[in-house]
């Protein structure tokens, strides 16, 4: 019975797509076989067309998803983060879905708050506004706490959203399975795996306590990072379906003209955004993985303020240490060392050729070193790296999926703020600091002691020798100061002019492994 219901929901969705002429776009109609043209035409006849001639296919697709409701809007938002799969223009058109949902009635929001928090809105708040923002899963109200007078943002899940998503996800799975069975070309994109990832993401977003916890953790990790701010959580007013946090008076990052009028420099903000993202990913291994313009603001002091922590990314110490080896290999153009690191941690099957893999990595690295940033297309680099993952059968690394996706989005946001922005130069200070700290002898010894630095090479023996030497020097009254180690590592980095490329090439190389789950 559930399968039949899912089928009819798909038919309804097909009618909506036909109405907006995205089931079979006009620009592809002549190339389509007759059965496809007939089916699309028949479905369109059963409904009233709302297509605007001036809209692109992507804009029509976004409008259709909006008509189909929250689950489909979330699907569109998810697709917008995958320009490598759906294409740059379609991904850009789908970004209009970031905050594009009608609000639900105030009465239902108040009822949800009372049920979750055990007290009425009137008891908890002296002021409570109409919805100020509405997205696919929840909406936000501006309020003032009666007990303290603090102005807050109250986020409330949509009524019955869990049931709605569960039902629509069943339809998505049916469509994905049908596509894999009857459209051989779709298997490369692994539609069922794509829906799996969407379902996992939505499940976490449905519990606002998880989002509150993520916000609090990120705030703790970045509390000393100037220029970045996370709203404080009001835990006593937070539950599964309600989240309360500080109200932020700020300008949306998507409005460069308003930022300029307020005295902010969009070019500086673009640089700051890149550096904050890299710091979170590399230093902390915990980063905001949904950093589109709708979730980023700038306050009066020029701080970038992030909201909506439903999707977060993590990199464990082993993967961050692996990143260090990969990045350092790119810095030195030592492609053999990079290849060996991949094999040592089991990302590439041992029956493959290390030399052939090193050669493939060289084909990616050498084409970008020394070229102006404006001439480098991240999309092209990703595409070539994806081809390498298929060629060598790399094992998918789930924790790197969000790294890759966020990297593409953050780069796009930075270039929207400043079209001439040089991603590579923005990365430089973060990379240099990270490499100095990661490559210092003291850091190597600490990591080796915990087993993190063992990549299957002769690291343990080397570290033990280094530790003995350090102990002997200490007994003789001579000590290697951390600053000295840092300077040595810094000079190693500065010997090459390629540091500006290393972070993004290395991260792309790592992220490409993760993307195989969709290919």
CB atoms within 10 A of CB 183: 11
- For 191-224, letters b (16+ CB in 10 Å) and e give bbbbbebbeebbeebbbbebbbbbbbebbebbee
Give the separation between CA 146 and CA 265, rounded to whole angstroms: 37
Supply 201's token pair: 């993401």
Give the separation between CA 355 and CA 463, rounded to whole angstroms: 27
Q: Annotated catalytic, 334? A: no
Give the separation between CA 433 and CA 281, rounded to whole angstroms: 14
User: Of the candidates 30, 93, 98, which has an alpha carbon nearest to the alpha carbon of residue 62?
Assistant: 93
Give the separation between CA 20 and CA 284, rounded to whole angstroms: 45
Give the separation between CA 282 and CA 261, rounded to whole angstroms: 34
Q: At what angle do helices 378-392 and 499-515 cross, to 10 degrees?
A: 50
Residue positions counted in the chain: 519
Q: Which of 93, 225, 272, 290 is catalytic?
A: 290
| 8 Å CB contact between 297 and 251 | yes
141 DSSP β-pair partners = 131, 154
Give the separation between CA 442 and CA 447, rounded to whole angstroms: 9
User: Of the candidates 121, 157, 162, 119, which has an alpha carbon nearest to the alpha carbon of residue 140?
Assistant: 157
Q: Report residue 305: phi and psi, to 5°.
A: -115, 125
Residue 181: exposure state from Cβ atoms within 10 A (0-12, 13-18, ≥19): exposed
Pairing of strands 151-157, 125-134: unpaired
Give the separation between CA 334 and CA 48, rounded to whole angstroms: 61
Residue 373 CB-half CA count within 13 A: 18
With a CB cutoff of 8 Å and minimum separation 6, the contacts of 288 are 218, 277, 280, 295, 306, 309, 311, 312, 313, 406
With a CB cutoff of 8 Å and minimum separation 6, the contacts of 85 are 79, 189, 518
Helices (H), ranges, 206-309: 208-221, 256-261, 266-279
| 8 Å CB contact between 310 and 295 | no
Pairing of strands 228-229, 304-306: parallel
List residues with catalytic annotation. 290
């Amino acid at each position: 019975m559930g399968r039949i219901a899912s089928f009819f929901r798909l038919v309804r969705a097909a009618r909506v797509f036909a109405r907006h002429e995205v089931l079979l776009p006009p620009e592809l109609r002549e190339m389509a076989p007759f059965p496809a043209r007939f089916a699309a035409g028949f479905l369109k006849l059963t409904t009233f067309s709302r297509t605007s001639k001036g809209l692109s296919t992507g804009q029509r697709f976004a409008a259709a998803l909006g008509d189909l409701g929250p689950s489909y809007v979330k699907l569109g938002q998810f697709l917008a983060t995958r320009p490598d799969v759906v294409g740059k223009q379609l991904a850009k058109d789908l970004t209009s879905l970031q905050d594009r949902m009608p609000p639900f009635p105030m009465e239902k929001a108040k009822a949800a708050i009372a049920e979750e928090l055990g007290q009425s809105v009137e008891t908890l708040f002296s002021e409570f506004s109409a919805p100020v923002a509405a997205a696919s899963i929840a909406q936000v109200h501006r309020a003032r706490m009666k007990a303290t007078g603090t102005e807050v943002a109250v986020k409330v899940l949509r009524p019955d959203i869990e049931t709605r998503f569960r039902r629509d996800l069943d339809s998505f799975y049916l469509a994905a399975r049908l596509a894999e069975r009857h459209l051989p070309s779709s298997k490369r994109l692994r539609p069922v795996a794509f829906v799996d990832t969407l379902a996992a993401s939505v499940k976490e977003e449905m519990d606002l306590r998880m989002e509150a916890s993520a916000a609090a953790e990120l705030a703790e990790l970045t509390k000393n990072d100037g220029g970045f701010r996370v709203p404080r959580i009001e835990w006593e007013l937070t539950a599964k379906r309600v989240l309360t946090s500080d109200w932020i008076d700020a300008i949306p990052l998507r409005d460069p003209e308003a930022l300029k009028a307020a005295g902010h420099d969009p070019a500086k903000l673009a640089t700051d955004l890149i550096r904050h993202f890299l710091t979170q990913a590399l230093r902390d291994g915990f980063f905001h993985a949904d950093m589109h313009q709708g979730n980023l603001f700038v306050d009066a002091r020029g701080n970038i303020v992030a909201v909506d922590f439903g999707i977060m990314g993590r990199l464990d110490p082993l993967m961050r240490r692996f990143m260090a080896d990969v990045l350092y290999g790119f810095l030195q153009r030592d492609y053999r060392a990079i290849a060996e690191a991949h094999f040592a941690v089991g990302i590439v099957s041992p029956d493959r050729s290390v030399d052939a893999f090193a050669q493939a990595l060289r084909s990616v690295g050498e084409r970008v070193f020394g070229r102006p940033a404006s001439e480098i297309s991240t999309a092209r680099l990703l595409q070539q790296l994806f081809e390498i993952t298929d060629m060598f059968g790399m094992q998918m690394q789930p924790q790197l999926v969000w790294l890759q996706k966020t990297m593409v989005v953050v780069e796009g946001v930075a270039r929207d703020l400043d079209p001439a922005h040089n991603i590579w130069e923005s990365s430089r200070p973060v990379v240099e600091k990270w490499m100095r700290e990661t490559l210092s002898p003291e850091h190597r010894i600490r990591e080796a002691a915990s087993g993190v630095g063992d990549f299957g090479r002769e690291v343990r023996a080397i570290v033990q020798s280094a530790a003995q030497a350090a102990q002997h020097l200490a007994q003789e009254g001579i000590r290697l100061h951390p600053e000295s180690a840092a300077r040595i590592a810094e000079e190693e980095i500065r010997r090459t002019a390629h540091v500006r490329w290393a972070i993004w090439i290395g991260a792309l190389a790592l992220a490409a492994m993760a993307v195989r789950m969709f290919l």
